[in-house]
Copies of this chain bind each other. A is one copy, B any other.
Amino acid sequence: MFSKACEYAIRALLFVAQKSKDGSKIGIKEIAKGIDSPEHFIAKILQDLSRKGMVQSQKGPSGGFYLDQSSLNASLADVVRTVDGDSIFSGCGLGLKQCSEAKPCPLHNEFKKIRDDIFNMLQTAKLGEFNGQLEKSKLFLKR
């Protein structure tokens, strides 16, 4: 459904959201461990997200990644769009480039409904909203 990069991105940002909610910063190694991802790979992804403003970072001792208020309010849909583009929200399920109401593929309406459901789910979910449950180990980001 999502690329590996996107799966890691979501997990990493949820992890950073929770770990940095008291104003502290968290390093890339701890993130990689916390979400069980390849360290250098998630580093690349976060660099990218950082350039695009979806996560904040600071170099040097006591530096690391964190989320500012605006980033905490970003939705998972924002993350997915940033990493994977919006083909999952708008592309044809059978790969037709010009699939539309006027020239529909055989599953056009069915896919539309599903894509809308996916979008609504991801749009509703904000990066900051899982902190409590993550902390209580009601939710998991690795394995």
Contacts and interface: CB of A to CB of B under 8 A. Distances in A.
Given A96-B143, A143-B96, A14 B125 contact: no
A106 B103 CA distance: 37
Contacts of A27: none
Contacts of A142: 96
Contacts of A1: 1, 88, 91, 93
A75 B83 CA distance: 32
Interface stretch (A2-10, A43-51, A54-62): A2-10
Using C-beta atoms within 8 Å of the partner chain, give the interface range for chain A.
35 or more
Number of copies: 2
Given A2-B93, A88-B1, A94-B10, A141 B105 contact: yes
Interface in A1-45: 1-2, 4, 7-8, 10-11, 14
A87 to B, nearest CB: 9
Interface of A: 1-2, 4, 7-8, 10-11, 14, 76, 88, 91, 93-99, 103-107, 110, 113-114, 117-118, 121, 125, 130, 133-134, 139-143
